[in-house]
Amino acid sequence: MTSWIVCDFDTNRILGSDGDLEQTFSPCSTFKVPLALMGYDAGILTDASIPRWGYNDKFQNDVPVMLDQWKQTHDPKLWMKNSCVWYSQEITRHLGFQKFSAYVDKFGYGNRDVSGDTGKDNGLIRSWLTSSLHISPLQQVEFIKKILNTGLLVSTDAIRATTELIHDDGDGLNGRVFAKTGSGFVDQEKGLQKGWYIGWLEKNNQKIICLPA
């Protein structure tokens, strides 16, 4: 199930690829990138430190697994760093289903299916977590291109703030790295997992989109 693609944003030239780039999977935590764009554009998120939302034990009912590092107050920066699921769900709750669905549709994100698990009416808080919403490596690349050319019909401030959140402070390869990881079960019974790493490298006035999946 391994696939990857590297392409030059400015020329749109594929520099290398392998695997099935059209097979779709759950975006899992890579969906925090579009969620950040939604949150900033809608005014729910203000900057990297606001809002600060406290942990509540009730959140354990809505996440597949509750990690110890999530059991603390989070702001947008820590949310992205810790990949905290309950903070993502608080963003979508503040959006409401109609606005959340409209953003996914406006972004042209994957299959745009935010219905959630069949018969559970949980699309608002679970659709991107190994549920109904799926996206392919090629679609992830197209989404990143929309971020880089401001083609998502959200404010430039939302794009700037989101880009800052996913900036890797360590950087690498003498360039600046912007990326997000994600993982989840493809087949839980067989223990098969899917891992994502989506983002881009800025170096020497060139943007290289890298997507191992």
Catalytically active residues are 29
Interacting residues of 99 by C-beta distance below 8 A, sequence separation 6+: 38, 42
Using DSSP's 3-state secondary structure scheme, residue 109 falls into coil
CB 24 within 8 A of CB 139: yes
SS (H, E, C) 29-50: HHHHHHHHHHHHHCCCCCECCE
What's the rounded Cα separation, in Å, for the pair 126 and 92?
Answer: 10
Q: Which candidate, 69, 82, 73, places its Cα nearest to that of 55?
A: 73
Interacting residues of 191 by C-beta distance below 8 A, sequence separation 6+: 185
Interacting residues of 100 by C-beta distance below 8 A, sequence separation 6+: 38, 92, 114, 124
Q: Which DSSP symbol is given to 172? A: B
